[in-house]
Structures are given as structure tokens and as C-alpha cells.
């Protein structure tokens, strides 16, 4: 074996860097074909030098080759000629072999330079590279010639460093620096930088709305110490796989940078910079400074290719239409009618499912029977209260509570009926199959015993159904009696108003008034309660809201004290404010919003220059913090209601309002109150249309609310004549979905399909045809929010009535409590810019429910408590635990989904 050629290019290993970093100054302006031919020639020379054992020349040549490849990849023609370039220069596996050679060459050269220095008796006993590498690993550097100090990069002057600059910073022990690697954990473990102060902030944690505190909590214990070093280091360097230039919004690198700059008060003076080209650039330049430099992440092939960047739907036939939305496959099994063996096999396979359906049928009947008994008991209790003479203090509240309970029980009964209808449909399909088999002589004699047993089971079910029908008839009779009395009470109320007779005033909450005895006067009260839903007058200090600073307000929550679990405090009804209470409880259980409002620094983000002057945000924060003290059974949100009423009068009155309307307006208010952060905008004209529309919609300023709750819809209109496409973008804080008109049960997937599927547009002016043409309009998501809010359009104007009368759809929507996958609704042209979104899975944590009708309704909330990891029902001041199986109900009006990692890590996908 021949010996390596003697060292002749430099005195130490670092001298080689000066040689391979020298590229012609006009290299970037040359044609890509010329650069590729040069690279190919250089590669052949390097291989020849490697064989000849000229290690210095081989190392310099290979490193110069890597730099040339970087230039080629940044060339504007690279994407178009990628296949030809790969054939000329080789595949990734070919370059992996080059990395292995580089690693061997570097180790050999460092050892040889060190040995030569020792033989010459020089003062430097170790090469500078080895010396500094040991220093970076926490060892004392060997005394030698003082290395030049790397000047920290000022964030205001330069926001990124090259791989060469970072390498020099790593090898200078006097540089105070922490490196944050935001690649996926599996990629980081497989290959990362060799540096002592390096922490992996996994990609799955970096979603819009993340805070520094939450990142710290989610990191493994061994990483938290390194993460805390950001508070003492002079600069933090951020890196991902290969981002060059300004990172795209919503990418992990962008979110990590944004979080550190806006939601981390501990690093106000720390400089935040980025590694240009990411880890991929560094490992190409300095493979020996990385563990496993040959590692590359799994390549995800984009089946859609590069030609769809501007075209959403190349073929009109690709667009699913709205009329297909609610057509789910039936339950009837398919069979091969030409094969008796196939039929027998199918019968065996279906026998157990049919038995399961019968068991489920019986369970539904049992639940329905129990529910009907509760309705009868509640109705009876109401009837007894009405007959009491005279009215006792607190009776109005008791009756109101019972009325609300009846509403909820009746909605649940309706759900049981819908489930029973679905089960009966499944039963019929299997029975029909059996009948067809029997007619063809395919019934198996050995199954007769099971058939007899099943018939006995079905007789038991029929008996239960008969009992349930009797209970239903009794419920309906009691309900008719109550409706008659309610109509009489309304007539008496109208008569009292016409004659200016004062009505009895009910108390806002039973425990606030300790009076006893009958109301004053000898007048006989109406048998049904006359509810006066007006709120008690607010305390005097509320009148000073206009002139004082809300930071020092002494809020009157009128609390009822009692030790309860955190987040399990109820809200008093201040006069038909159950719609507001329902939304506030859902927002209170939005874990990241809760955490944000509990941090005192949130006041630094308040915008005092808008219409509401930050007051809405401050009052919502105060209510949420009070709900999570665990010291109160219930509180009154009087200050919030007063301030809300100042800016939207309808929410300050005593009439019932729509919780969806309140939520939509409240989101806009909260966004405006917290809209203080300037977006990072470069050249607006060079941005993708979706990003440009996003910036223009929010006028260049973000808020924590927009980061959590707001998404973006892409609307594509395609001409059916010339196939010209036109796209517009619109931001949203919730999705309002249609429900089927004539169906008692459907799935959330159906409703989403109905929203996003295509619809015909008549008379659209096509910019290419220059005339009005038929077109198809299709909606897709161009930006998914971290918190997805879904609203069901349950109320509609009845077309069969002369006057405008609103009805309510009581459809039971089957929605998932976890693993809601929204990626199928992503715009195809946005996938390349939002690859991170393809891993999004949403879990349900809140539901705003509506019971009753337009004329007489009530709101509650079901919320998943993050501390207890249990579901709770919030019915104004009453809070009680519920089973997760009871969350799906026809009362569901607004759903709150989150893809944020606010659950235990084992549950996060």
C-alpha cells in the first residue's frame, strides 16, 4: 500500500480552508451547464488525487466540489434541469460516499499536522481545530497562540450567519452562544452538530401560539437546562434543515424566532440570528463537525409535482360537488350472488356484528327509558312547584333550572331516537341479507339455534320499545299541559304590562339574597313563573370605567366562595347571559389562551389606541383568571358584560343572543386589543398571493389571537369553457357549516365536504374569455389555524311561512373527540408551503351547546379540563362532570378543536 503524499499545502489544517473557499467571483452568474461541467471535472480530479494518496489536494478538491454543488442548487435553472444534473454529478448516495471520504481525510490530516508540529518542536502541540473542538466540549484549551475573537453579530445589522461563520464561532471558546436546532427529534438524534451548547426544540412543538414557557414545559428534562441557557448567552443561533434567507411564515424556524422575539421576556437583550442554509449547508461544508454526516432525512415524494404551483384543479372533473356531500355509503352489505360459498362465509362474518347491533339496540332503549323517566320526574316536580301557594323566595330560579333541565333531557331523548333509527336501519340491512340467502336456499341449518335465541332477544327488545312508547306518551302529555300553562302565563304577563302593574323581580342568583317569606302583597301569583331576566344594577365603580385605567380596577365578581377544582368555577346568569357564559367557559379552557392571560406580561401586548382601548382583552383575562383560582363556586362577569355592552349594545341588554355571533365579534375585539406585533415583511410583491392577502388583511400587524384562532380560505373559480382559474383569499376565525335539511343524523365529514366541495356559478365574468361564462367555485384551506372553531348553522328561515319564522335543525352530528384530520381540505397549491400542516391532528376540548328553540332556548358548555383530563358540563353556575360519551349531542352548536400539544405528550400525534 502506497504512503500518503507529504504535507505541502499548509502549516496547519485550518490553512486548507483558505484554499477551498476560493471560488471565482463571477461563478453565480455563469450558465448552470458550465458550472456542472466544471464540477464534474473537479470530481474526477479529486478521485484521482484520493487514489494517489494526495490527501491535502483531495480534501481541498472535495470541499471545493461541495461549495460548487451549493452554487448549483441555488441557480434559478436548477429545478428545471435537476434530472440532467443528477445524471452528471451523481445521486445522494454518491455524495454520501464523498462525505465518508472527507471524514477520513480530515481525521488523517489533523493527526498528520499535529504529528509534524510535534516533530518540529513548535509551541502548538495540537492543531487549532482539535484544540477549539475540545474547548467547545467543556475542556480547557491548550495554551497557544491566541485565536482571533469572533465578533458577535448584531441582530439589527445582520440576522443570519453562513456555515463558515458559524464554524468559526463554534471554534472560538470566547463566543457566548446557544444553538437551537428545530428539526424533528428523530432527525436530530440521527445527526447533529458537535457543540456543547446545542438544544433540540422539536418541530412538532413549534406551532402558532406557542410560548417560551410552554416549550420549556414540553422539552425533556435533559434539554431544559440547555434551553435555560438562552437567558445568559449573548446570542442564540436558530437552524432547521435547509432554510435560506427569511423563513416562510408558519414554518417551525419562523415560529421559533417569533416566539423568542415576542413571547420570551427572559431574553430581551439576547441577539437572535439564523443559520443560512440550515444544517444541510453546515454538514456539506464541515462534515467532520457533525455526527453521522451521511445521514439525510427520508425523502417525501410530492406526487403533485412542481407544475401545480399556480393551478389548483387542472381538470374540472377533479372537483367534487356539493350535492355529493351527504351521500354516505349505506349499511347494506354486498354479496357475491354467484357463489354459495361466498354467501355462507359472509353470513358467518356478519353473525357477530348483528348480535352486536342487537346489544347496542338494547342499550339505547335502556338509556332512552331512563331518560324518559327523568323527564317525567322533572315535569312532575315542575307541576308541584307551580301548585304551591304562595310563591317562595328562590322559586323562580328553581323552576327556571328545571325548565332548562327538561330542554336538555328532551334533546338527549331526540338523540337516542336518531341513534335508534340508525341501528334499526343496520338491523334491516342484515335481516334483508338473511332473507335473500334463505330464498336461495343458502340458510345454514346449524344456525337454527342461534336464530331462535335471536328471536327471543328481539321479543325482549319489542317489549322494551312498547314500554318506552308509553313513557314517551306520558312525557308528551305533561309537555302539552305545561305549554298550555305557559301560554296562560304569557297572556297574564302581557295583561300586567298593559295595565302598568309591576312584575315581581327575580334574584340573579339564589345565594345572593337570604330573604325569606312570601313576596309583599296579597295578589295571587301566576301558576307559571314570570321570569324577569334583567340584571341587577352594576356597582357604582363600573360607571368609572370610561375615565380610569382598567389596570387598577377593583372588579366586583360577586363570588360565591367554595373550594372547587381549578377551572371548575361557574358563571352566574346576569339575565339571559347563558350564551356569553358558554363561550367564556370554552375560551377559559383554551389552554394556550388561558396560559397567555395568566402571564402578567400579556398587558405589554395590549393595544390602547384602538376602539376598545384594550378593555375587552383585559376584562376577558380577568374573568378567565378568576375562573381558575379554584376558590369560587361561581362568579359574575359584570364588568365584562358592562364593557361589552358599551361597544355592542345588544350584548348589554337582557334579551337572549346568539353565542356564535358573540364569539365572532369577541374574536375581532380580542385580536384588535392585542394587535401590537409588527409582521416580518420583506418585499410584498414577491410574496405568494396567500401570504400577501394575509398581511393585507391584518394590515401588517399580528396578535396572539390571530396566531391561535385565525386561518385562511382559498376560493378558486374555474371557467368551464376555457378552464381559466382565478383565486382569492379570505381570513376566518371560525367555519360555519351547513347541516342536511332532511336528516336526523350525519357526520362532521359530511358537513366539511358540503362547505369545501364545488358549486356552480352562473354568469361569472371570465378574464380570459372576456365574457360571462358558467364556472365552478371551490373552497380550500390555505392556512390552518392552531385552534379550529366549527359552527353548525342550526337556525334557518322557514320557507313555508308567510312571515319570517326561524326554525332549528335538531340534526345529531357525529364528530370525533380526537384525531380530526383536516389535511384533505388543504389547497393543493399550498401544500408545498405548508408541509408542516400535513401532520396536524385536532382534538376536541370544548363545545357550546344550544337547547330548545328560537323562542325559548338555553346555552351550556362541555369542556375538557386540562388539569383533570375529564369532561365537565358548565350550565351557568352549575358545574358537573360528564362522561366523554355524552359530549356528542344534537345540542352541539360550536366545536372547539386544538392541534396544540396541550395534552400529555403521549397523547400528542
Q: Do 164 and 116 lie in a common domain?
A: no
Residue 290 bears catalytic tag = no
3-state helix, strand, coil in the chain (%, to 5): 50, 15, 40
209: domain CATH number is: 3.40.250.10
> Which residues of the chain carry a pLDDT beneath 50?
123-156, 300-309, 328-350, 352, 389-395, 444-446, 449, 501-552, 838, 904-909
Catalytic residue, candidates 262, 591, 660, 858: 858
Question: Which of these, 476, 266, 270, 438, lies nearest to 347 by C-alpha position?
Answer: 438
Whether 178 maps to a domain, the answer reads: yes
pTM of the model: 0.66
CA 625 to chain centre: 23
DSSP state of 208: T
Same domain, 254 and 200: yes
Strand-strand pairing, 759-766 and 870-875: unpaired
Beta strands in 49-192 (DSSP E): 160-161, 177-181
Do both 166 and 56 map to the same domain? no
- Supply the pLDDT for residue 441: 61
**Closest CA relative to residue 179, chosen from 189, 194, 157:** 194
Same-domain check for residues 49 and 114:
yes
The residue annotated as part of the active site, out of 182, 290, 475, 578, is 578
Nearest to 845 by CA among 782, 771, 900: 900
Determine contact, residues 538/552, Cβ cutoff 8 Å. no
Q: Domain containing 52 — which CATH number?
A: 1.20.58.80
108 and 218 part of one domain: no
166 and 82 assigned to the same domain? no
- Give a yes or no: residue 193 inside a domain: yes
Domain co-membership, 65 together with 174: no
Identify whether residues 179 and 281 lie together within a single domain: yes
Residue 211 lies in a domain: yes
Question: How high is the pLDDT of residue 714?
Answer: 94
> In sequence order, what are the beta bridge partners of 813?
746
Rg (CA), the chain: 35
Domain boundary among 274, 289, 304: 289
Where among 255, 289, 323 does a domain terminate?
Answer: 289
Q: Which domain holds residue 213?
A: 160-289
Whether 533 is covered by a domain: the verdict is no
Same domain for 174 and 269, yes or no, is: yes
Residue 589 is predicted with a pLDDT of: 96
How far is 296 from 280, CA to CA, in rounded Å?
9
Q: Are residues 167 and 115 in the same domain?
A: no
- Same structural domain for residues 210 and 266? yes
Q: What per-residue confidence (pLDDT) applies to 445?
A: 47
What pLDDT sits at residue 754? 93
177 inside domain: yes
110/19 same-domain check: yes
Q: Report yes or no on 435 lying in a domain.
A: no
150 inside domain: no
DSSP 193: B
Active site residue 858: yes
Domain count, the chain: 2
Q: How far apart are CA 275 and CA 245, in angstroms?
A: 9
Question: Would you say residue 718 lies in a domain?
Answer: no
Measured distance CA(734)–CA(731) in Å, rounded? 9
Which of helix, strand or coil describes residue 172? coil
Provide the pLDDT for residue 240: 92
Q: In this predicted structure, what is the pLDDT of residue 812?
A: 93
Amino acid at each position: 500500500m502506497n504512503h500518503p503524499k507529504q504535507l505541502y499545502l499548509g502549516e496547519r489544517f485550518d490553512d486548507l480552508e483558505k484554499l477551498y473557499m476560493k471560488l471565482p467571483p463571477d461563478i453565480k452568474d455563469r450558465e448552470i451547464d458550465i458550472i456542472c461541467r466544471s464540477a464534474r471535472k473537479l470530481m474526477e480530479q479529486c478521485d484521482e488525487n484520493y487514489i494517489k494518496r494526495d490527501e491535502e489536494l483531495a480534501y481541498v478538491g472535495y470541499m471545493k466540489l461541495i461549495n460548487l454543488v451549493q452554487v448549483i442548487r441555488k441557480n434559478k435553472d436548477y429545478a428545471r434541469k435537476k434530472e440532467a444534473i443528477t445524471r452528471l454529478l451523481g445521486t445522494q448516495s454518491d455524495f454520501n460516499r464523498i462525505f465518508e471520504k472527507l471524514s477520513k481525510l480530515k481525521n488523517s490530516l489533523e493527526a498528520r499536522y499535529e504529528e509534524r508540529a510535534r516533530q518540529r518542536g513548535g509551541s502548538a502541540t495540537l492543531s487549532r481545530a482539535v484544540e477549539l473542538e475540545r474547548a467547545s466540549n467543556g475542556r480547557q484549551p491548550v495554551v497557544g497562540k491566541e485565536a482571533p475573537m469572533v465578533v458577535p453579530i448584531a441582530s439589527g445589522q445582520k440576522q443570519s450567519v453562513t456555515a463558515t461563520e458559524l464554524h468559526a464561532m463554534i471554534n472560538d471558546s470566547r463566543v457566548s452562544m446557544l444553538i437551537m436546532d428545530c428539526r424533528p427529534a428523530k432527525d436530530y438524534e440521527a445527526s447533529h452538530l458537535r457543540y456543547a451548547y446545542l438544544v433540540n426544540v422539536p418541530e412538532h412543538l413549534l406551532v402558532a401560539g406557542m410560548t417560551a414557557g410552554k416549550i420549556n414545559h414540553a422539552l425533556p428534562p435533559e434539554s431544559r437546562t440547555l434551553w435555560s441557557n438562552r437567558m445568559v448567552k449573548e446570542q442564540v443561533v436558530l437552524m432547521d434543515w435547509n432554510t435560506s434567507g427569511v423563513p416562510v411564515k408558519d414554518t417551525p424556524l419562523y415560529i421559533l424566532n417569533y416566539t423568542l422575539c415576542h413571547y420570551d421576556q427572559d431574553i430581551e437583550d439576547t441577539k437572535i440570528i439564523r443559520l443560512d442554509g440550515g444544517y444541510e449547508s453546515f454538514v456539506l461544508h464541515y462534515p467532520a463537525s457533525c455526527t453521522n454526516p451521511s445521514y439525510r432525512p427520508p425523502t417525501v415524494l410530492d406526487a403533485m409535482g412542481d407544475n401545480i404551483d399556480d393551478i389548483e384543479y387542472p381538470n374540472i372533473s377533479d372537483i367534487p360537488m356539493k350535492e355529493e356531500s351527504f351521500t354516505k355509503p349505506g349499511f347494506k352489505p354486498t354479496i357475491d350472488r354467484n357463489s354459495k360459498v361466498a354467501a355462507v362465509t359472509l353470513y358467518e362474518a356478519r353473525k357477530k356484528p348483528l348480535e352486536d347491533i342487537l346489544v347496542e339496540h338494547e342499550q339505547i332503549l335502556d338509556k332512552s327509558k331512563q331518560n324518559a323517566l327523568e323527564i317525567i320526574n322533572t315535569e312532575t316536580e315542575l307541576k308541584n312547584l307551580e301548585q304551591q301557594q304562595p310563591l317562595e323566595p328562590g322559586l323562580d330560579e328553581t323552576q327556571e333550572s328545571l325548565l332548562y333541565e327538561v330542554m336538555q333531557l328532551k334533546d338527549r331523548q331526540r338523540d337516542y331516537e336518531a341513534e335508534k333509527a340508525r341501528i334499526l336501519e343496520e338491523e334491516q340491512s342484515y335481516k334483508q341479507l338473511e332473507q335473500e340467502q334463505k330464498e336461495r336456499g343458502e340458510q345454514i341449518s346449524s344456525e337454527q339455534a342461534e336464530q331462535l335465541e335471536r328471536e327471543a332477544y328481539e321479543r325482549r327488545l319489542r317489549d322494551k320499545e312498547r314500554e318506552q312508547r308509553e313513557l314517551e306518551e306520558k312525557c308528551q302529555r305533561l309537555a302539552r299541559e305545561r305549554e298550555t300553562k305557559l301560554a296562560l302565563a304569557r297572556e297574564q304577563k302581557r295583561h300586567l304590562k298593559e295595565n302598568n302593574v309591576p312584575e315581581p323581580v327575580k334574584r340573579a342568583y339564589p345565594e345572593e339574597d337570604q330573604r325569606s317569606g312570601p313576596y309583599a302583597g296579597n295578589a295571587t301569583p301566576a301558576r307559571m313563573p314570570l321570569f324577569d331576566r334583567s340584571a341587577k344594577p352594576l356597582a357604582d365603580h363600573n360607571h368609572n370605567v370610561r375615565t380610569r385605567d382598567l389596570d387598577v380596577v377593583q372588579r366586583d365578581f360577586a363570588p360565591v366562595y367554595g373550594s372547587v377544582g381549578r377551572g371548575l368555577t361557574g358563571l352566574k346568569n346576569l339575565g339571559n347571559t347563558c350564551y356569553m357564559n358558554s363561550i367564556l367557559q370554552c375560551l377559559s379552557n383554551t389552554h394556550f389562551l388561558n396560559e397567555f392571560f395568566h402571564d402578567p406580561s400579556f398587558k405589554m401586548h395590549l393595544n390602547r389606541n384602538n376602539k376598545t382601548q384594550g378593555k375587552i382583552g383585559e376584562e376577558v383575562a380577568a374573568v378567565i383568571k378568576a375562573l381558575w383560582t379554584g376558590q369560587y363556586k361561581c362568579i359574575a362577569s359584570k364588568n365584562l358584560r358592562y364593557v361589552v355592552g358599551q361597544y355592542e349594545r345588544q350584548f348589554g341588554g337582557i334579551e337572549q343572543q346568539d353565542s356564535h355571533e358573540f364569539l365572532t365579534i369577541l374574536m375581532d375585539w380580542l385580536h384588535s386589543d392585542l394587535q401590537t406585533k409588527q409582521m416580518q415583511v420583506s418585499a410584498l410583491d414577491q410574496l405568494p398571493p396567500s401570504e400577501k392577502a394575509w398581511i393585507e388583511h391584518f394590515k401588517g400587524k399580528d396578535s396572539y389571537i390571530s396566531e391561535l384562532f385565525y386561518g385562511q380560505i382559498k376560493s378558486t373559480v374555474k371557467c368551464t369553457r376555457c378552464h381559466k382559474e382565478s383565486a382569492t383569499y379570505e381570513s376566518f376565525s371560525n367555519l360555519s357549516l351547513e347541516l342536511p335539511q332532511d336528516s336526523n343524523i350525519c357526520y362532521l365529514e359530511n358537513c366539511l365536504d358540503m362547505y369545501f366541495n364545488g358549486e356552480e356559478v352562473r354568469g361569472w365574468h371570465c378574464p380570459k374569455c372576456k365574457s360571462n361564462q358558467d364556472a365552478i367555485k371551490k373552497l380550500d384551506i390555505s392556512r390552518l389555524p392552531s385552534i379550529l372553531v366549527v359552527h353548525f348553522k342550526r337556525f334557518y328561515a322557514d320557507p313555508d311561512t308567510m312571515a319570517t319564522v326561524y326554525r332549528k335543525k335538531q340534526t345529531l352530528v357525529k364528530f370525533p373527540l380526537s384525531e380530526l384530520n383536516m389535511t384533505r381540505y388543504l389547497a393543493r397549491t399550498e401544500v408545498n408551503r405548508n408541509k408542516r400542516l400535513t401532520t396536524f391532528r385536532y382534538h376536541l376540548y370544548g363545545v357550546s351547546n344550544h337547547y330548545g328553540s328560537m323562542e325559548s332556548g338555553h346555552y351550556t358548555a362541555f369542556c375538557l379540563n386540562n388539569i383533570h383530563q375529564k369532561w365537565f358540563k358548565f350550565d351557568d353556575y352549575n358545574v358537573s362532570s360528564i362522561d366523554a360519551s355524552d359530549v356528542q349531542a344534537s345540542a352541539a352548536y360550536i366545536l372547539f378543536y386544538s392541534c396544540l400539544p396541550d395534552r400529555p405528550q403521549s397523547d400528542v400525534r
